[in-house]
Structure 1
Amino acid sequence: MNWFWFLLFSFTSAFVLTALLRRYALCKSLIDMPNDRSSHSIPTPRGGGVAVVVTFLVALSVLLFKQLIPVDLFLSAIGAGAFVAVIGFMDDHGHIAARWRLLGHFAAAIWALCWIGGLAPISVFGEHVNLGWLGSILAAFFLVWMLNLFNFMDGIDGIASIEVITACLGACVLYALGDADHLVWPALLLASSTAGFLLWNFPQARIFMGDAGSGFLGIILGIVTLHAAWTSFMFFWGWLILLGVFIVDASLTLFRRLIRGEKVYEAHRSHAYQVASRRYRRHWPVTVVVGGINLLWLLPIAVCVTWYGLDGVIGLSLAYLPLVLLAIKYEAGQAEAG
């Protein structure tokens, strides 16, 4: 298979589909109107992330046909990913109660775990521990958290797409160094599909991703992370490090809001990246910095974990400490004044 043309095809398909979805959103009046809880000031169509969903799932089917990915990964991703995307698409068109969304998210997570086998034996300080059924429960919560944190973090132009692209390309570096070339294809395809949408969403958003796209990206990243852990748990640590910006900001924000007794499922503007975008009065510098952190800070640490033998817990702590300090600096989770 000519990998260059295949990736170019996925990129172009996502770009063209996004254009069509933008026209559809305008015709159906699927418009996000600015309010006091949003980070935008211009009415903008939403739902463009469906282009990434369709492109990636079709490309994944081609990979299965070419025997470049295992059946378990395909069934896990196409079943859980499509279900989450449908839930998000329905929510984009008309509100779905949070409890029903959450139930659907856990159903998707359980489906995914049935095929990929739950959580691989963890590797901590040189010890390997099989958590059994407890590991499967933790893995389910991990998948649900991943898809929801992407919903939370998709709030300014380009940030979710840049996170996906840089994390996936970083993971490909880890796979190449770790002689795990068989894991590369899904990450490359997710990056190329997302890049096709990015051109419509950055530096000035002409269409938003919507819950269908952001939730899909979150659960697919969670699935490829758990799947890679069965090859080597060091890849699991590597993915957690690469996704650190989103994980830290979303987790700290959620924790602080829970402590204050707020309804965490309600829209707000208290994530660190949202505060930063208001301070600088622009979205693109924040998005560019996130990409820079991923490639210049998090990727080298992930390489040290997967290639040079740095313990995963130590590497994760080293990677996250500055991110926590940055999130605190930009008041992640603090109540908005006024």
Structure 2
Amino acid sequence: MSTLSITLSLALLAVIASAASLTVLVRSWAIRKSALVHPTERCSHTIPTPHGGGIAIAAISIILGLLFSMMDWVPDYSMVAFMLLGFVMVALGVWDDFGDLSPKFRLIVHFVVVGVGLASVPSLPVLSVFGTAVDTSEIVALWPLLAVCWVWLINLYNFMDGIDGLAAIQALVLFGGMAVNFWFMGHANWSWICLFILGAVLGFTLLNWPPAKIFMGDGGSGFLGFVIGFMMLLSASITHVSMWSWVILLTLFVADATTTLLVRLLTGQNVLQAHRLHTYQKLATKLGSHSKVTLGYGAVMLFILLPCSILANAYPHSGLFIFSVLFVLFSVLAYWFGAGRLTSFSRRGC
């Protein structure tokens, strides 16, 4: 192992320890201020629990932006945008967690952040669509589509942060899986970028694992949705790693959230109302365990989605086809498990 690798490994351990320590501090502050999430019929928890732990993930990740720039792994102007926009996202989420934030205002800010984020990457991705290379930088009509997809990613990550450890393990396997993809494609620097962000999440996960001692909150889930979208676009612009590999690893979350939303829309429900109708929430209720569902989702990502994401890089024109097959499969399963559908239990307010 080279001296640089040893130094980076030690730095990674420091990131994990720092994130864990900061999470402990945020938890102590939340308890002192009675910033607790209390159980309700729409909540999957049974005891008051402090929230806002995602602040630790965001703070460490924003600081990491300086490291990535100093190591000359990414363009400086992209990292400046990453840090500034990341701060806006975590501030917005904390406001939503501890204050009274209008959903419309939040959505407007999301689109502004995403618009600036799209402008801050060197170039928009060239996507392989069933064997045809589509340069989204040159097709202006696709820019709004990219913005909508990124905003949807931010919000669906928030939707999927509903049981202990689930959003955290999604991020851990996603960034761990992408570290493998970048290594496979010969981009060691980006493997380290993914591992460092993984480390920031891992430090938080130590206290978020079932039974959770602190929740991520909107400050963490919205921030992670932003970071994933940003790193996905940035890496696609400066490496040869397929952006579909990111999307494939996200398939389980995307299918669950999208199916739930569509079913609720088609059945005339108020989609702005809080609920407990996602597949993972129904499974947690049925199994009586958060850890089983969290581990199950992680296992699907690790043993099914990760190999498929590597396949999308080994065969560059296969990405959209692989994602489409997986998305349909998991959407059908989500519908079969009752995603979005009201039951006698859920009508009490979930």
Q: TM-score, normalised on structure 1?
A: 0.96
* Corresponding residue for residue 173 of structure 2: 166
The DSSP-based 3-state class of the residue aligned with 1:311 is helix
CA gap 1:212/1:99 in 2 versus in 1, 3 angstroms: same
Whole-angstrom distance in 1 between the partners of 2:195 and 2:152? 23
1:37 aligns with 2:57: no
* Corresponding residue for residue 285 of structure 1: 292
Q: Which stretch of the first structure deviates more once superposed, 292-301 or 119-128?
A: 119-128
Cα distance, 1:325 vs structure 2: 2.7
Give the partner amino acid of 1:99: K
Whole-angstrom distance in 2 between the partners of 1:188 and 1:70? 19
* Corresponding residue for residue 326 of structure 1: 333
Residue 183 of structure 1 is aligned with which of 190, 215, 240?
190
Contact in 2 for aligned 1:123/1:234 (Cα 8 Å): no
Q: Which stretch of the first structure deviates more once superposed, 78-87 or 17-26?
A: 78-87
* Corresponding residue for residue 65 of structure 1: 70
Structure 2 residue ranges without an equivalent (≥5):
none
The DSSP-based 3-state class of the residue aligned with 2:265 is helix
Contact in 2 for aligned 1:92/1:212 (Cα 8 Å): yes
The DSSP-based 3-state class of the residue aligned with 2:157 is helix
* Corresponding residue for residue 223 of structure 2: 216
CA gap 1:310/1:152 in 2 versus in 1, 3 angstroms: same
Paired positions, count: 338
1:123 aligns with 2:128: yes
Whole-angstrom distance in 1 between the partners of 2:182 and 2:97? 35
Whole-angstrom distance in 2 between the partners of 1:246 and 1:265? 19
Structure 1 residue ranges without an equivalent (≥5):
none
Whole-angstrom distance in 1 between the partners of 2:191 and 2:76? 16
* Corresponding residue for residue 95 of structure 1: 100
Give the partner amino acid of 1:322: L
Contact in 2 for aligned 1:234/1:312 (Cα 8 Å): no
* Corresponding residue for residue 54 of structure 2: 49
1:172-194 CA distances to partner (integer Å, 9 max, x unpaired)?
11111112223223311111110
Kindly report which structure 2 residues correspond to 1:1-338, keeping only aligned pairs within 5 A, or say none.
Answer: 1=4, 2-117=7-122, 119-131=124-136, 132-231=139-238, 235-309=242-316, 311-337=318-344, 338=347
Contact in 1 for aligned 2:73/2:190 (Cα 8 Å): no
CA gap 1:331/1:232 in 2 versus in 1, 3 angstroms: farther
Q: Which stretch of the first structure deviates more once superposed, 140-149 or 317-326?
A: 317-326
Give the partner amino acid of 2:216: M
Whole-angstrom distance in 2 between the partners of 1:129 and 1:154? 33
Q: Which stretch of the first structure deviates more once superposed, 234-243 or 214-223?
A: 234-243
Whole-angstrom distance in 2 between the partners of 1:294 and 1:310? 21
Cα distance, 1:336 vs structure 2: 3.3
Q: TM-score, normalised on structure 2?
A: 0.92
Whole-angstrom distance in 2 between the partners of 1:312 and 1:285? 30
Contact in 1 for aligned 2:181/2:241 (Cα 8 Å): no
Q: Which stretch of the first structure deviates more once superposed, 159-168 or 170-179?
A: 170-179
The DSSP-based 3-state class of the residue aligned with 1:123 is strand
Contact in 2 for aligned 1:106/1:144 (Cα 8 Å): yes
Give the partner amino acid of 1:290: Y
The DSSP-based 3-state class of the residue aligned with 2:242 is helix
Give the partner amino acid of 1:49: G
Give the partner amino acid of 2:224: L
Q: Which stretch of the first structure deviates more once superposed, 204-213 or 178-187?
A: 178-187
Whole-angstrom distance in 2 between the partners of 1:22 and 1:167? 25
Cα distance, 1:252 vs structure 2: 0.8
Q: Which stretch of the first structure deviates more once superposed, 274-283 or 234-243?
A: 234-243
Give the partner amino acid of 2:144: I
